[in-house]
């Protein structure tokens, strides 16, 4: 029988100040963070002599005036972020928030996200980091393979499995578990969180308990009504469902009895019992899943809350919580009967393995890190050098573009001067026309700027004349 320990894990953000590269016991070696290679970027000419505060003020000024901010500018700011005082983090966060809402945000660089996250890790600003990661629309900051691994390692070592699971949820929402180390650390963190947390205490999908009956409703006429839609992914608020879906994704990446076992547990946590039963029926392996996974699925199925179909509502009053999936009582009975039948058959056929999942995960984690850590370190060092080169090349392109814009402005100013001079020289020739008040002639539009490089600009004396 599976024993699930129920112990609330509280996030420990404020009392920990984590600096990458510190010498303490981790699953990853201290060299994994490539601290020295990462610090070398600050010695490059682009970053070395820039004052972070002055540079940030220039960016703020441009953002406030609606002037374009190049993605390389935000990359420079992100890479200098770890040198600021922590009192300025709110201000810096606002700059990245504003930049995210500009057109140039689509060109944000990978090194920008990496540097931003590493800076917050260095400052121990985990609460701020999770807030930003969980709001990608407004911040556009995403984990990569290496920052996710570093975060997971830190939280696991400090036994903050709730935070480790939060990192894994973000990777699940990105559907990105291809990296071996972050994948196995995610599985270990989620496994420990599942064993030590009481998920029956909260169900965020059902917490919406607003006193709608006590509030007066106001009806307004609209052109059309968009019905609420629960996508089963980004709309998930129930942490048990998030953990279940994360287990399911992780299990698919591990082609073994271990992976299938966590898939089954994931389907149970996510209350997708039909998919869990299909998994058991479809697998023809000699050993299908672990007995521990079967027992966990059984407990989750038996304790799953049910709900009768509610009265049908008019489209105008349907809310998101009304379309969240649920299990009906009759469905639950069918699932239990079918599961018991499958369970008995698998026992008789000897297709269940008496496996300690927790130990197997730890063993796989140690083996994975031992096999791939050196490759990751080498890859990071190459990546940091490449990012420095990309930053330098991007800055050169921006400088060239600024020179072209400046030349266009200078050409426009010279054309305006020529136009004014032409008007002065032709004044006496046009004096009779001026006296006669001939104002119905073609209007000459003054030049204020050069809009296109290819645009033909006629000489001042030729403007306004009809082509022969």
456 in a structural domain? yes
Query: Within a domain: residue 429?
Result: yes
Same domain, 350 and 408: no
From CA 265, how far away is CA 240, in angstroms rounded? 11
With respect to residue 154, please indicate whether it lies within any of the assigned structural domains.
no
* pLDDT tier at 49, thresholds 50, 70, 90: confident
Question: Which pLDDT band holds residue 410 (cuts at 50, 70, 90)?
Answer: confident
Task: Based on the fold, state whether residues 328 and 410 are members of the same structural domain.
Answer: no
**Mean pLDDT calculated for residue range 79-104:** 95
Tally of domains within the chain: 2
- Whether residues 408 and 458 share a domain: the answer is yes
Q: pLDDT (tens digit, 9 = 90+) per residue, 164-207?
A: 999 999 999 999 999 999 999 999 999 999 999 887 655 545 44
Does 328 lie in the same domain as 247? yes
Q: Does 113 fall in a domain?
A: no
- Domain span at residue 455? 392-462
Task: Indicate whether 205 belongs to any domain.
Answer: no
How would residue 10 be classed by pLDDT, with cut points 50, 70 and 90?
A: very low
| Residues 259-314 pLDDT 10s | 999 999 999 999 999 999 999 998 777 889 999 999 999 999 999 999 998 888 88
Q: Are residues 282 and 344 in the same domain?
A: yes
User: In the chain, what percentage of residues exceed pLDDT 90?
Assistant: 66
Domain co-membership, 254 together with 332: yes
Q: Does residue 240 share a domain with residue 342? A: yes
Asked if the structure places residue 341 within a domain, the reply is yes
Judge whether residue 111 has pLDDT over 60: yes
Question: Are residues 347 and 403 both part of a single domain?
Answer: no
Query: How much is the pLDDT for 204?
Result: 47
Q: Are residues 340 and 259 in the same domain?
A: yes
**Residue 415 in domain:** yes
| Same domain flag for 332 and 397 | no
Same-domain status, 349 and 397: no
pLDDT at residue 201, rounded to an integer: 56
Instruction: With respect to residue 264, please indicate whether it lies within any of the assigned structural domains.
Output: yes
251 and 342 fall within a common domain: yes
């Amino acid at each position: 029988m599976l024993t699930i320990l129920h112990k609330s894990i509280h996030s420990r953000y404020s009392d920990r100040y984590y600096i990458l590269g510190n010498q303490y016991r981790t699953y990853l070696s201290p060299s994994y963070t490539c601290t020295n290679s990462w610090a070398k970027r600050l010695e490059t000419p682009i970053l070395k002599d820039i004052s972070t505060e002055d540079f940030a003020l220039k960016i703020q000024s441009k953002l406030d005036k609606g002037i374009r901010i190049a993605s390389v500018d935000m990359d420079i700011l992100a890479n200098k972020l770890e040198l600021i005082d922590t009192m300025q983090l709110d201000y810096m966060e606002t700059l990245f928030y504003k930049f995210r809402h500009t057109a140039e945000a689509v060109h944000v660089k990978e090194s920008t996200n990496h540097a931003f996250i590493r800076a917050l890790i260095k400052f121990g600003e985990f609460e701020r980091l999770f807030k930003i990661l969980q709001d990608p629309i407004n911040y556009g900051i995403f984990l990569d393979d290496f920052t996710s691994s570093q975060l997971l390692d830190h939280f696991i070592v400090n036994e903050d499995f709730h935070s480790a699971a939060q990192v894994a949820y973000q990777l699940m929402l990105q559907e990105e578990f291809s990296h071996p180390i972050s994948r196995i650390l995610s599985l270990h963190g989620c496994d420990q969180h599942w064993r030590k947390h009481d998920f029956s205490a909260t169900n965020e999908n059902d917490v919406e308990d607003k006193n709608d009956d006590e509030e007066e409703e106001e009806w307004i006429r609209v052109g059309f009504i968009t019905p609420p839609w629960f996508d089963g992914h980004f709309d998930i608020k129930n942490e048990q469902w998030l953990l279940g879906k994360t287990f399911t994704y992780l299990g698919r990446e591990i082609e073994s009895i271990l992976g299938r076992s966590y898939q089954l547990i994931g389907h149970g946590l996510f209350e997708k019992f039909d998919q869990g039963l299909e998994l058991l029926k479809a697998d023809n392996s000699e050993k299908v899943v672990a007995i521990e996974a079967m027992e966990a699925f059984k407990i989750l199925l038996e304790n799953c809350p049910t709900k009768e179909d509610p009265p049908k509502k008019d489209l105008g009053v349907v809310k998101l919580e009304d379309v969240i999936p649920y299990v009906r009582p009759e469905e639950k009975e069918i699932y239990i009967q079918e599961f018991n039948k499958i369970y008995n058959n698998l026992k008789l056929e000897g297709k269940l393995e008496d496996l300690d999942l927790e130990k197997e995960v730890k063993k796989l984690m140690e083996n994975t890190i031992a096999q791939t850590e050196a490759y990751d370190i080498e890859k990071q060092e190459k990546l940091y050098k490449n990012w420095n080169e990309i930053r330098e090349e991007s800055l050169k392109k921006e400088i060239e573009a600024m020179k072209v814009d400046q030349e266009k402005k200078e050409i426009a100013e010279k054309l305006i001067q020529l136009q004014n001079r032409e008007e002065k020289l032709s004044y006496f020739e046009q004096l009779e026309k001026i006296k006669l008040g001939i104002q119905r002639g073609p209007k000459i539009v003054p030049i204020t700027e050069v809009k296109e490089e290819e645009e033909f600009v006629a000489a001042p004396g030729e403007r306004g004349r009809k082509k022969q």
